[in-house]
Structure 1
């Protein structure tokens, strides 16, 4: 039996999870941060909370800032490439993603770029870009001056700036490319895969030292195709591949029986696949596995 407090908190949970995930790049840690916020609310003096949504956003943000400080140390010691935990977004887990700009904020590429920022810069950037907070509101969340928040935001924008795509394909074309990749991979059609890849494609693998994965990025179409040849020979017909929406973009899930082997995110440029990010660390697949096997 739920309580009025629990019911009220649950109405805020999706937004809080979306905030925590963008700040942390980890779905499981985001869940923990949101749950910690509930525990703090349970012990708080409700009479002193004027606006619950604002209080919870501030609480979750500060919990995440504490986690980011320790996460930076762990990521410096991480085995191989660090990638964010993938999240299936077709079920609204990260809220409505109704525009290209909103989808970009939760993309694997953006979450990787956010690793360049200090925890405070990241908080300012996420609150401003993803949740449309004004600088005065951000200052209230972070207990900083409005001028300081403006400066942090300008610095963050400069640090995550990336070269714009020369051509952003229509969603239908992106879907077609990813579906073609999955079909070609499923059929072992390496010539077909080669046609889908940009000449300077880069393949990133995150195994975290828990499973076999390339420790460094694989750069260039020829090297990526040779890498895919090795994968196809290793797993042959045992892998079941499926298209899924991951972090606002079409991606791919690879299963061996009931085991989720990995989740791939694709970045498209000039009509071809330019970046592939493969998350294979089983610790990072727990949340998305629960999403994909949910009844």
Structure 2
């Protein structure tokens, strides 16, 4: 029987906070409870914000949490050719198109549309769905941008992608903590269409989170993806990409979030909740675990 493999995949674009501590410790505990492995993956696609210094400090925080690294650590910045290959496979299927609208143009279009009293459709995170270049730009402007050095995103044609798989899509959701870890997973109906034409890459970035995460999970033989509840609905997109690319389907487990005083999930900009700041202030392991509810 295959042993389960869990992973914790932070981005070194700031200091880890209490939410990261919860996710990392839950993954490590689950791996021990189920006699599996625990891996750390570095999601450093953003080469501007992710730095070697922040990566080293991230590893120091993980060591303080008692989470040794299982070498070698996979870094996304070293895997760009793999993402490019996956993207090209989707392009060969006719499922990817260049999109030239800027964020400002999308925002202006949606604002103008909603002045009529109707709401523009939004994804589960609240962002407006991509309207398509032709909704805003003339055919001449689209041609001009495609022949110039204009920025663009490569988006998945959601309608064509769903037609290609030709049937309903589900994922397997299991418990994230305690005894629930041993409960059998249940099927959850996936709704990737709720996200519209998601971005798979950009002109200056060869991949997106959605594309790289499914490629990396398959490469590392991840059997159980245990992550925050904020990514619950994004699982629909990930299952769609797995089906299109012929990648294995892991079991998903989504844990509770730690919220700030404003009721929102924690951010790396909240320095008062960073593991590094709390360590410097003298917080002990036991105090940290108590604070995050472990």
TM-score relative to the length of structure 1: 0.21
TM-score relative to the length of structure 2: 0.21
Higher helix share: 1
| Structure with higher RCO (Cα < 8 A, 6+ apart) | 2
